[in-house]
Chains A and B, each alone.
Chain A
Amino acid sequence: MHELSVAGAVVDTAIAHAAGRPVSVVTVRAGHLRQVVPRSLRFYFEIVARDTVVQGARLELEIVPGRLGCRACAHEWDVDSPAFRCPRCGGGDVTVLSGDELEVESIEVEEPTPCTA
């Protein structure tokens, strides 16, 4: 369900940067901790893009693995499941080093080829 909201935000961002040009590819980096289900995001992306310059664009999705760091003991570790306490010292003051991004990295747009003749 939340993929519909995410798809809307992604498509809006792409539209804002397309400046009216048709978009053929949208590249997105989504952190593992954002709980985005790729298949579901693609499904909604296609629907939300309809009747906009993003219609028919391909969604390139990169899932960024989750990595946490402990402020107390400086331990760093990969997370796969929602466990946010430091496995080394048990501390709860933890920073997300990667895995919470939701970023439109780039778009590819179609432009008329300038006449060089």
Chain B
Amino acid sequence: MHRVKVRVVEDALDANNTIARANRADFDRHGVTVVNLMSAPGSGKTTLLERALSHWHDGPRVGVLEGDVAGSLDADRLAHHHVPVVQLNTDNGFGGECHLDANMVRSAMDALPLDEIDMLIIENVGNLVCPAEFRVGEDARIMVSSVAEGADKPLKYPLMFRACELVVINKIDLIEHVDFDMDTFLYHLDAVHPGVTSLPVSARTGEGVDAVRSWLAALPDRVRAVA
């Protein structure tokens, strides 16, 4: 036996990115705008979707792909609001994945009602790092950060706060109780991702959720203008 050096020079995420592009092409063909919704576990992704989509009359027809670690609790919550939802189980019998990748989304493609929707929102697995690395074929990414997590999160997890077009600051109804300083958060966010749009909301009380709805409703046109 002898050793041979093989030149590779390949992005370790190339394989994922190739599948993500294929997903994107499929979504484009059906005229579906895709949003990747990311956050730490429990920041309020599902609650925000319930709020934003339950009184959603005009605007794009929205479907949801739920990337839960296990079970279908989040999907059931949304189905309750008459939102078309497809469950993607990343459970491998041992708890499941820490993020969605392009191939998992690809595996759900046939189950998605792409002809009946204009927008697909993919709720990623709750995780503050890994989802930033794996594109799934989305047009835009939303990062939810709740005030309960503290004002220093952008500094600690710059990868995620840089990899998004919108930051939703959730649970503002709890601000007094958790000692969260909004200016400090915005200052750190600006250092990590200068100029990114941020919207303070309470998915619980509904405060600010209208602005998220408007942002979503305007997204298909914005994406088309760039393309």
**Contact status B2-A5, CB under 8 Å:** no
**Which residues does chain B contribute within 8 Å of A4, judged by CB atoms?**
98, 130
A23 to B59, CA, bound (A): 53
The answer to whether B115 has its CB under 8 Å from any CB of chain A is: no
Kindly identify which residue among B1, B4, B8, B129 contacts A104, using a CB–CB cutoff of 8 Å. B8
**Contact status A105-B9, CB under 8 Å:** yes
**Contact status A113-B1, CB under 8 Å:** yes
Known: A110-B1, A110-B2, A111-B4. A35 touches B127 (CB 8 A): no
Interface residues on B, range: 20 to 34
**Contact status A1-B13, CB under 8 Å:** no
The answer to whether B57 has its CB under 8 Å from any CB of chain A is: no
A78 to B195, CA, bound (A): 21
**Contact status A110-B3, CB under 8 Å:** yes
26 contacting pairs across A/B (C-beta < 8 A): A1-B130, A5-B99, A5-B130, A6-B12, A9-B133, A21-B4, A34-B159, A35-B159, A84-B162, A84-B192, A84-B193, A85-B190, A85-B194, A92-B190, A94-B194, A102-B12, A102-B133, A104-B12, A106-B5, A107-B5, A107-B8, A109-B3, A110-B3, A110-B4, A111-B1, A111-B3
- Chain B residue, CB-CB nearest to A107: B6
A35 to B162, CA, bound (A): 13
A90 to B5, CA, bound (A): 45
Interface residues on A, range: 35 or more
**Contact status A92-B10, CB under 8 Å:** no
Known: A4-B98, A5-B130, A107-B8. A82 touches B192 (CB 8 A): yes
The answer to whether A2 has its CB under 8 Å from any CB of chain B is: yes
**Which residues does chain B contribute within 8 Å of A1, judged by CB atoms?**
98, 127, 129-130
**Contact status B3-A28, CB under 8 Å:** no
7 smallest CB-CB distances across A and B, nearest first, come from A92-B194, A2-B129, A82-B158, A9-B12, A5-B130, A104-B8, A92-B195
Known: A1-B130, A4-B98, A108-B6. A82 touches B12 (CB 8 A): no
The answer to whether A49 has its CB under 8 Å from any CB of chain B is: no
- By a beta-carbon cutoff of 8 Å, the part of chain B in contact with chain A is 1-16, 98-99, 127, 129-130, 133-134, 154-155, 158-159, 162, 190-195
The answer to whether A103 has its CB under 8 Å from any CB of chain B is: yes
Chain A 1-31 interface 0/1 with B at a Cβ cutoff of 8 Å (1 = within): 1101110011011101110010010001000
The answer to whether A117 has its CB under 8 Å from any CB of chain B is: no
Known: A5-B99, A13-B14. A84 touches B5 (CB 8 A): no
Most buried by A among B4, B11, B12, B98: B12
* Closest chain A CB from B177 CB (angstroms): 28
- Chain B residue, CB-CB nearest to A14: B8
* Closest chain B CB from A43 CB (angstroms): 16
- Chain B residue, CB-CB nearest to A24: B3
**Which residues does chain B contribute within 8 Å of A112, judged by CB atoms?**
1
Known: A85-B190, A85-B194. A5 touches B3 (CB 8 A): no
Kindly identify which residue among B4, B12, B154, B193 contacts A28, using a CB–CB cutoff of 8 Å. B12
Kindly identify which residue among B4, B9, B99 contacts A108, using a CB–CB cutoff of 8 Å. B4
